[in-house]
Amino acid sequence: MRTPFVVGNWKLNKTIAESLALVTDLKNQLGAVKGVAVGVAPVFSALHSVAKRLEGSSIATCGQNCHYEASGAWTGEVSAPLLADAGASWVIVGHSERRQFFGDTSESVGKKARAVLAANLGAIVCVGELLAERDAGRTLAVVDEQLAGGLAGIDAAGAAKIVIAYEPVWAIGTGRTATPAQAQEVHAHIRAWLANRFGAATADTIRIQYGGSVKPSNAEALMSEKDIDGALVGGASLEAADFIAIVKAARPS
């Protein structure tokens, strides 16, 4: 069985003090929750402090993005080994905001994912279609193209350190969620793609998170779908009570 993985993506929010306050609440209140893996992705400036505060807990600290090179003349960037040095154990790559506003492509997402694995971290590889692509019936083709690029050069051993996040772009930060059936259709397709690429046994172990306006009121219905193995949560991860409710909704029944 796959252990669901719920990650809070804080995006460009929270000072160090605010991050520590939130993570202290999570550490205190999620200690007893079993059967769900949990992570938070703070801004880079707070990541080391958050990782230190989370020492001794099972909550993972995640980077929101990284550069594909380890070091060098790349002003303003942060690399996977440096995120590891700061205390991260996972890195999100290919988030739709990176693709939309910062020029990430399927090819560069693949380079980033390989860099994350080379640094001995886990990679959360995001995929998802725009509304126009869904309306044009291109959802599955778009996801296939993003998976092919994002997982290029990764073998079955590397796949063990990969999580896929399916995030329909039209559902991110909009309050509009995919229905559980809409999400499950794409998740099942992603698992079939993974089976074709890595073999069915490996595909069965890879977690596929759903992301896009997940909140306490819709989390349980989404995560009770067979191929939905947790969530990548934006807005609702900024409040401890909402995020904790979502984590509890992911518990296998």
Helix or strand (DSSP H, E) at 38: strand 37-41
Of 114, 134, 235, 243, the one binding ligand PEP by CB under 6 A: 235
Residue 118 · residue 154 · CB < 8 Å: no
Give the integer Cα–Cα distance in Å for 109 and 93: 6
Residue 59 is which amino acid? I
Token pair in block for residue 195: 């089976």
Residue 166 · residue 190 · CB < 8 Å: yes
CB of 143 to ligand PEP, least distance (A): 16
How many residues in the shown chain lie near ligand PEP by CB under 6 A?
Answer: 13
Q: Choose, from 67, 95, 97, 187, the residue flagged as catalytic.
A: 95
Q: What ranges in 42-179 are assigned the alpha helix state H?
A: 44-53, 80-86, 96-101, 106-118, 131-135, 139-150, 156-159
Give the integer Cα–Cα distance in Å for 253 and 239: 25
Stretch that binds ligand PEP, among 52-60, 194-202, 211-219, 222-230 (CB under 6 A): 211-219
Residue closer to ligand PEP (CB basis): 162 or 214: 214
Token pair in block for residue 213: 């306006």
Stretch that binds ligand PEP, among 31-39, 68-76, 112-120, 231-239 (CB under 6 A): 231-239
Instruction: Tell me, yes or no, if 220 is annotated catalytic.
Output: no
If one asks whether residue 39 binds ligand PEP (CB under 6 A), the answer comes out as no
If one asks whether residue 172 binds ligand PEP (CB under 6 A), the answer comes out as yes
If one asks whether residue 9 binds ligand PEP (CB under 6 A), the answer comes out as yes
Q: How many CB atoms are located within 10 Å of the residue 55 CB?
A: 9
Of 47, 51, 178, 232, the one binding ligand PEP by CB under 6 A: 232
Instruction: Provide the 3-class DSSP secondary structure of residue 45.
Output: helix
CA distances from 195 to 72, 136, 149, 185, 250 (A): 37, 26, 16, 15, 24
CA 187 to chain centre: 14
Of 147, 159, 169, 214, the one binding ligand PEP by CB under 6 A: 214
Stretch that binds ligand PEP, among 56-64, 129-137, 193-201, 232-240 (CB under 6 A): 232-240
Instruction: Provide the 3-class DSSP secondary structure of residue 180.
Output: helix
Stretch that binds ligand PEP, among 66-74, 156-164, 205-213, 222-230 (CB under 6 A): 205-213
If one asks whether residue 173 binds ligand PEP (CB under 6 A), the answer comes out as yes
Q: What are phi and psi of 6, to 5 degrees?
A: -115, 120
Instruction: Tell me, yes or no, if 129 is annotated catalytic.
Output: no
If one asks whether residue 49 binds ligand PEP (CB under 6 A), the answer comes out as no
If one asks whether residue 104 binds ligand PEP (CB under 6 A), the answer comes out as no
CB of 159 to ligand PEP, least distance (A): 22
Residues 130-169 that bind ligand PEP (CB under 6 A): 167
State the catalytic residues.
95, 167
Which residues contact ligand PEP (rule: CB under 6 A)?
Answer: 9, 167, 172-173, 211-214, 232-236
